[in-house]
A = this chain, B = another copy of it.
Amino acid sequence: MLIDVMKKRASVRKYDKNKEVSEELLNALLEASARTQTMGNLQLYSVVVTRDDQMKEKLSPAHFNQPMVKGAPVVLTICADFNRTTEWCNNRKAVPGYDNFLSFMNAASDALLFTQTFSCLAEEAGLGVCYLGTTVYMPGQIVDVLNLPKLVMPVATLTVGWPDETPSLSDRLPVASFVHSETYKPYTPKSIDEFYTPKEQLPENQNFVEINKKETLAQVFTDIRYTKRDNEALSETFMQTLKKQGFIS
């Protein structure tokens, strides 16, 4: 059952180098993932499978050289794709109108839902996966390496392999912190304390604050991991790539 898998899942970053992920298993998981709901049944995504070492080497810098890219037997780059549908229209006397931002959002949604079904299915099959959020940081590099045409934009990357580690579960906020009944209930200093104090008191997070020489855990995020300056620069880069790929003008 997926629910049992989810309750003990964690991202896996180290993979067994001697055990391959067969073409057969990978295709079976991709095929089942494609049962995911999709806009107008258009399946607005594509998946580029990287197995070749040289290709992993080329993708690696776009992911800040995180070792999973070169260490995983399989790297999947999942893309928002309106190119295939547009080509279909062009071949069927239909005039497509998908070179706009809404179409990007529609295709990105399809792609991300597909990605997560795949992730669940892969973990249920015993594989380990790691989601690389870096995909949206330097999408232009990925576009170049994978030869992505217009109306194709990378939105997610999964590294996949048989686990060579058993990572411990990371903490999560309580359900009450992210679920709102009927309307959105504003947070207060009191509710923030209630929801975040247990996380802040975890030894690993206290250690995280200490080694980064910060006063609070939140400062580790704002000052080091996800800074305003980086976010603004990367927003610009992302928009430029969206433009290059034809989703905005």
Which A residues fall within an 8 A CB radius of B?
Answer: 1-3, 5-7, 9, 11, 27-37, 39-43, 45-52, 55, 81, 83-85, 87-89, 91-98, 100-103, 105-106, 108-109, 112-113, 115-117, 119-121, 124-125, 130-131, 133, 136-137, 146-149, 152, 155-156, 170-173, 175, 177-184, 186-187, 189, 192-193, 195-196, 215-219, 221-223, 225-229, 231-232, 234-235, 238-239
Would you call B180 and A102 a contact (CB within 8 A)? Answer: no
Please name 7 further chain A to chain B contacts, defined as beta carbons within 8 Å, in addition to the given A6-B32, A92-B196, sorted by A numbering. Answer: A3-B124, A43-B173, A49-B180, A84-B195, A93-B215, A100-B228, A100-B232
Consensus secondary structure, chain A interface: helix
Determine the residue in chain B with the shortest Cβ distance to A179. Answer: B47
Would you call A47 and B180 a contact (CB within 8 A)? Answer: yes
- How often does this chain occur in the complex, in copies? 2
- Collect the chain B residues with CB atoms within 8 Å of residue A227's CB: 97
- Collect the chain B residues with CB atoms within 8 Å of residue A87's CB: 187, 192
Measured CB to CB, the closest approach of chain B to A107, in angstroms, equals 11
A–B pairs, 19, beta carbons within 8 Å: A11-B37, A30-B175, A34-B173, A43-B178, A48-B179, A81-B178, A88-B192, A88-B196, A93-B218, A95-B228, A97-B232, A102-B136, A102-B231, A103-B231, A105-B136, A106-B136, A112-B113, A112-B116, A113-B119
Would you call B115 and A133 a contact (CB within 8 A)? Answer: no
Measured CB to CB, the closest approach of chain B to A176, in angstroms, equals 9
In the assembled complex, the Cα of A140 lies from the Cα of B84 at a distance in Å of: 30
Using known A-B contacts A42-B221, A223-B94, A235-B100, determine if residue A149 contacts B184 with beta carbons closer than 8 Å: yes
Set B33, B36, B170, B178: member contacting A84, Cβ < 8 A: B178
